[in-house]
A and B are shown apart, each in its own frame.
Chain A
Amino acid sequence: MNRWRDIPQRSDLLLQYLIDIQQRDSCISTESIQKLSTELAIPAAQIKSVIEFYSFLHTTPRGHFNILFSDNITDQMAGSRALMRQLCQQLNVRQGDPRADGRVTVDTTSCTGMCDQGPALLINNFPITRLDSKRIELIAQLIEQDTPLEQWPAEFFEINDNVHRADILLTHNTEDGDALRALLEEGAETLLQRIGDAELRGRGGAGFKTATKWRLCKQADAAQRIVVCNADEGEPGTFKDRVLLQSYAAQVIEGMTLCAGIIGASKGFIYLRGEYRYLLDSLEKELQRRRDAKLLGNNILDQQGFNFNIEIHLGAGAYICGEESALLESLAGHRGIPQKRPPFPVTRGYLGLPTVVNNVETLMTACQIASHGSDWFTDKGTRQSAGTKLLSISGDCQQPGIYEYPMGTSVSDILIDCGADGPQAVQIAGAAGQTLCHREFKRKIAIEDASTGGSFMVFNRHRDMLDMVQNFAHFFAHESCGFCTPCRVGSTLISNLVDKLYTSHATQNDLRDIERIALVMRHASHCGLGTTASNHILDTFNNFPDAYQRRLRSTEYTPAFDLDLAVCEARAITGRDDDDAHIVCPPQEGFKP
């Protein structure tokens, strides 16, 4: 169980130790905190602050079966909320509270990356997908019988790749070690040049040139360098990295090793989001297989001094850790708070060492370019955006799943391919991305047009777009790291105002407030989470004004309390019930835009 027992204790492993304790004890007790504090020489308060930060860590026990329903909008559209109510009812348990006998807890969590096979849940960190009423009933029975998870039906835990369109990346398999042999035969400079010629840009969404990043890190003055694979695929609606880690892990790891060989790094990390913990065993096995095949470890392919080792670190339910500076903080065992830049990670990253942080897809693509050449890649795509892009398509379409498209493909072509029926909107690049409406469907997937890290959620014309807005508003209020005021306070204010609107209590004034706060967040937040957290609001304000207007009360202003109820005590004391003893709410004034 303890993955770290064979290596000496390190304070940067704090988060990893905490995750193990949480898994073992179902919470992190005061005694565990004290023990860690002594052993690692870290103040107990600091350990507690780390526990508080991560959603999957708790100081009070969860149930023996800890169930978290994925709460992305696509799960909700597939009926997750009703299924959760059904399970709570059948188990007689309240959402969020462990049952009195400690058997089970039922709660929600941010998107678990199973949007193409949702609704989904995590049970003790293992995903169960394709939930329906019958499956929920079986789950309730198994829990009541206290059946160990290993004896549950295997089909519950089946995760499908659902690749519906493969282009060069998913069809061209490289032989194990091809990229590394090319590196050893042709030299680091040639390979770096090749990746530069291929115009490869980061696939996480920001689109920074990969070769430039690698070169800057290579040039940084240091004795040791680090390669990090960002597998914290937390953006709601994205799941392509999950498929790559499940079925193409060899190429991802070879991409990391290639990077290490080029920049001169000896140590690497895969930062795997806690929701993908179920992939841990297969990834560890793959690492071992590659060590045995001399593709990883010391003296790779018998090249003296080509040493590279990879550790897998788990996240613990924090969306912000997908941001690279927050991810590096988390890797060091801290709270995942984004850091000021510069210095950029390429010069000062993990524990102050020059660090390359790349997305899973970027590393796999780099591995393929090394074997197939730069033309293989630039033959596809547009002038500014070379190659292909993996999209995770979910929502209202007949065939949700993974689609690989050349950059420059239009949104409308993609909607036809995935079988979207009467789409009114596409949320591209996740909750932090853009909400495209019908007239924008001619736009193209590319850095220079509709840029995306891979999330592509489809909403048909029967959907109320305010459902999406409310889901994202709650998501950001929950995921804000709390460091800067515009984001911490703004995301909660927006969430409250959207709730007010949702229940038809809001007025035009509240809409003005929402917009004002959204703009403050966009301009004043510390990191990308805050600056993008209100995109969905501002986009839907423009593209779907009806979704807001029809929910408004038809007045400019609503009192903060029930005026007539505020006279109830005086009425009771005086025994009066005449007309003047009541406050009549006036008929709604006409709506003034």
Chain B
Amino acid sequence: MSHKIRVATTSLAGCFGCHMSLLDIDERLLELITLVEFERSPINDIKQLEPVDVGIIEGGVANTDNVEVLREFRRQSKILVAIGACAINGGIPAMRNHFELKECLEESYLDGIGVVNPMIPNDPEIPLLLNKVHPIHEVVKVDYVLPGCPPSGDTIWTFLTELLEGRPIHFPYSEIHYD
């Protein structure tokens, strides 16, 4: 099995939508797993990251844990791929960048509707939020970006198969237009 390409995936500040889209390649998953070996990924729930050929990152960087995981992925991956709008631009989570972090936390934990026992959590187990949400290329070097919110299953399939075959990656127009 050692000749298989090893792939790891994770979701940082994202919604797992890109991972759902990965599952949307449907029965081609069976073909995919003849080509690749999934290391750490929410799909198989492996938590430990070993060195891999391809690391796929969904979501932006919103807290200290995201930074740690992302850096670990960069260290262990030969090729790092940013998948989806959040990883590339910050996406929906980055909408909080228009507000102070303090305002966001107060709205969620002190002033929001239905808040019981109001207090801003400060348990050391909980990763701290960054002042702003950042795209992942601002924290580590990224080799490929795969745009879309989410990219379709077909787009992901084209990307993975062409990457695995070592070809320059070309998408049919239908797979990368969002109008």
| Chain A residues engaging chain B, CB cutoff 8 angstroms | 509, 556-557, 559-561, 563, 565-571, 573-576, 578, 580-581, 583, 586
0/1 per residue, B123-154, Cβ < 8 Å to A?
01001111110100111110000000000000
CB pair A563–B67 under 8 Å, yes or no, is: yes
- Report the 7 A-B pairs with minimum CB-CB distance, sorted nearest first: A574-B122, A560-B138, A570-B128, A557-B141, A566-B130, A569-B101, A569-B131
CB pair A561–B134 under 8 Å, yes or no, is: yes
CB pair B124–A566 under 8 Å, yes or no, is: no
B3 within 8 A of A: no
Chain B positions within 8 Å of A576 at CB level? 122, 124, 128
Chain A positions within 8 Å of B131 at CB level? 565-570
CB pair A570–B101 under 8 Å, yes or no, is: yes
For the complex, give the distance between the alpha carbons of A567 and B124 in Å: 14
| Chain B residues engaging chain A, CB cutoff 8 angstroms | 64, 67-68, 71, 100-102, 105, 120-122, 124, 127-132, 134, 137-141
What residue in chain B is nearest A565 (Cβ atoms)?
A: B131
CB pair B101–A574 under 8 Å, yes or no, is: no
CB distance from A363 to the nearest CB of B (A): 54
Q: Determine which residue in B67, B137, B140 has the highest number of CB atoms from chain A within 10 A of its CB, and name it.
A: B67
For the complex, give the distance between the alpha carbons of A581 and B127 in Å: 7
For the complex, give the distance between the alpha carbons of A581 and B129 in Å: 9
The B contact surface, by secondary structure, is mixed
If the complex has contacts A574-B128, A583-B64, are A556 and B141 also in contact, measured as CB distance less than 8 A? yes
Q: Taking A560-B134, A566-B132 as given, write out 5 further A-B residue pairs in contact, using a Cβ cutoff of 8 Å, ordered by the A residue number.
A: A563-B67, A565-B131, A567-B129, A570-B128, A580-B127
CB pair B122–A559 under 8 Å, yes or no, is: no
**Cβ contact of B128, chosen from A509, A560, A565, A567, cutoff 8 A:** A567
CB pair A509–B122 under 8 Å, yes or no, is: no
CB pair B140–A557 under 8 Å, yes or no, is: yes
CB pair A559–B120 under 8 Å, yes or no, is: no
Chain A positions within 8 Å of B139 at CB level? 559-560, 563
CB pair B129–A570 under 8 Å, yes or no, is: yes
What residue in chain B is nearest A571 (Cβ atoms)?
A: B128
For the complex, give the distance between the alpha carbons of A583 and B68 in Å: 8
Chain A positions within 8 Å of B138 at CB level? 559-561
For the complex, give the distance between the alpha carbons of A586 and B74 in Å: 13
Chain A positions within 8 Å of B100 at CB level? 569
Chain A positions within 8 Å of B105 at CB level? 573
Chain B positions within 8 Å of A569 at CB level? 100-102, 131
What residue in chain B is nearest A563 (Cβ atoms)?
A: B67
CB distance from B105 to the nearest CB of A (A): 6
CB pair B141–A509 under 8 Å, yes or no, is: yes
What residue in chain B is nearest A509 (Cβ atoms)?
A: B141
For the complex, give the distance between the alpha carbons of A210 and B138 in Å: 55
